[in-house]
């Protein structure tokens, strides 16, 4: 599937994300630790993109204004396209790195089982903290997180035909946790 198609249509994105999760769960036993970690990193990357599509639901609107399901789909579609354009090269890089890791894993088949698991301790463990640190500090997605929040705010107001207030925008963006 072409990445432009994935980031150009909400249904294609969600289908790709579901397929990717199924692929990981069905092949995780034979993959090396590095490949599994990279797949989990990519899965978290896609989850962050997905959460960015839903951020407009948290945008405070003036009294009398609500987001309809159609508004939400329109905003999500715009956000997905913008994120796809901005993150295209990085996503292709993640795919290329995955291909290299998989080929290396196949040639050097090492089926050691990790002593740590992402799901251990309810997802909050050393591996998941490492994964979130990489996402937050070493990816464009992590560095541009607040800019995506601001875009969601502005797009939500534009879809409703409102003029966004800079002070409200600053309060909205500052309401999210600091960079990881």
Domain boundaries, the chain: 3-174
Number of CB atoms found within 10 A of residue 149's CB:
21
User: What's the pLDDT at 1?
Assistant: 47
Task: Report angle CA 17, 20, 23 to the nearest 5 degrees.
Answer: 155
Residue-wise pLDDT for 7-30, tens only, equals 889 999 999 999 988 888 877 666
Q: Exposure pattern of 96-125 as b/e (b: 16+ CB <10 Å)?
A: eebeebbeebeeeeeeeeeeeebeeeeeee
pLDDT per position as a tens digit, 116-141: 554 455 556 777 788 888 988 899 99
Within 10 angstroms of residue 39's Cβ, the number of other Cβ atoms is: 22
- Answer yes or no: is pLDDT of 37 > 80: yes
pLDDT in tens, 41-78: 999 999 999 999 999 999 999 999 999 999 999 999 99
Q: How far is CA 19 from the centre of its chain?
A: 15
Q: How confident is the model at residue 36 (pLDDT cuts 50, 70, 90)?
A: confident
Provide Rg for the chain, Cα atoms: 18
Asked if 98 and 43 touch (Cβ cutoff 8 Å), the reply is no
pLDDT tens per residue across span 130-172: 888 898 889 999 899 889 999 999 999 999 999 988 999 998 9
How big is the CA angle at 113 (ends 108 and 116), to the nearest 5 degrees? 130
Nearest alpha-carbon partner for 77 in 3, 19, 13, 15:
13
Please give the pLDDT value at position 109.
63
């Amino acid at each position: 599937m072409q990445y432009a198609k994935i980031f150009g249509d909400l249904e294609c994105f969600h289908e790709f994300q579901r397929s990717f999760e199924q692929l990981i769960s069905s092949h995780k036993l034979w993959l090396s630790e590095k490949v599994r970690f990279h797949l989990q990193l990519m899965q978290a990357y896609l989850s962050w993109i997905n959460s960015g599509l839903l951020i407009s639901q948290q945008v405070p609107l003036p009294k009398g204004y609500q987001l309809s399901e159609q508004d939400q789909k329109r905003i999500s579609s715009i956000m997905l396209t913008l994120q796809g354009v901005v993150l295209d090269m990085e996503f292709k890089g993640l795919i290329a790195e995955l291909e290299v890791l998989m080929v290396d894993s196949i040639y050097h088949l090492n089926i050691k089982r990790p002593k740590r698991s992402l799901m251990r301790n309810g997802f909050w463990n050393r591996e998941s903290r490492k994964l979130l640190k990489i996402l937050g500090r070493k990816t464009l997605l992590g560095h541009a997180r607040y800019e995506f929040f601001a875009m969601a705010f502005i797009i939500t107001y534009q879809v409703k035909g409102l003029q966004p207030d800079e002070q409200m925008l600053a309060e909205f963006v500052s309401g999210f946790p600091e960079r990881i």
